[in-house]
Structure 1
Amino acid sequence: MTRLLHLSDLHFGYEREALVEPLLDRVNAAGADLVVVTGDLTHRGRSAQYRKAAEFLRRIEAPLVAVPGNHDIPLYRLTDRMMQPYRRYRRAIADNLEPIGHVGNLRVQGVNSVDPMAWQRGVLTAAQVRRVTDHVDPSCYNIVALHHPMQQRPEVDKALMRGAPEALALFELKGVDVVLTGHLHLWFAGAFLGPEGRPLLQLQAGTALCSREDDRQNEFAVLDFRDEELLVERHVAPMDETGFRPPELLRFVRTNGLWQPCQ
Structure 2
Amino acid sequence: MTRILHLSDLHFGYERASLIEPLLDLVNAARADLVVVTGDLTHRGRSAQFARAAAFLRRIEAPLIAVPGNHDIPLYKLSDRMMQPYVRWRRAIAETLEPVGHVGAVRVQGLNSVDPMAWQRGIITPAQVARVIAGLDPSCTNIVALHHPLQQRPQVDKALMKGAAPALTRFETDGVQLVLSGHLHLWSIGAFLGETGRPVLQVQAGTALCARPDDRQNEFAVLDFRGPDLIVERHVAPMDEPGFRPRQELRFARRHGLWRPA
TM-score, normalised relative to structure 1: 0.99
State the identity as a percent. Answer: 76
The root-mean-square deviation of aligned C-alpha atoms, in Å, is 0.4
Any runs of at least 4 consecutive aligned residues in structure 1 with deviations exceeding 4 A, and if so which?
none
Q: 3-state SS of the aligned residue for 1:160? A: coil
Cα deviation code 1:152-172 (max 9, x no counterpart)? 011111000000000000001
Shift of 1:230: 0.2
Aligned pairs (5 A) from 1:204-243: 204-243=204-243
Cα deviation code 1:206-256 (max 9, x no counterpart)? 000000000000000000000110000000000000000111000000111
1:256 maps to 2:237:
no
- Partner Cα distance (2:76, 2:10) in 1: 20
Aligned pairs (5 A) from 1:66-85: 66-85=66-85
1:96 maps to 2:96:
yes
- Partner Cα distance (2:30, 2:10) in 1: 18
Q: 3-state SS of the aligned residue for 2:82? A: helix
Cα deviation code 1:95-143 (max 9, x no counterpart)? 1000000000000000000000000000001110000011111100000
Report the count of equivalent residues.
Answer: 262
Q: Which amino acid aligns with 1:118?
A: A
Q: Which amino acid aligns with 1:256?
A: H
Shift of 1:148: 0.1
Flag structure 1 segments of 5+ consecutive residues without an equivalent: none
1:116 maps to 2:133:
no
- Partner Cα distance (1:240, 1:179) in 2: 30
- Partner Cα distance (2:253, 2:117) in 1: 39
Flag structure 2 segments of 5+ consecutive residues without an equivalent: none
Q: Which amino acid aligns with 1:196?
A: T
Q: Which amino acid aligns with 1:139?
A: S
Q: 3-state SS of the aligned residue for 2:3? A: strand
Aligned pairs (5 A) from 1:191-202: 191-202=191-202
Aligned pairs (5 A) from 1:1-263: 1-262=1-262
- Partner Cα distance (1:220, 1:45) in 2: 22
- Partner Cα distance (2:81, 2:221) in 1: 31
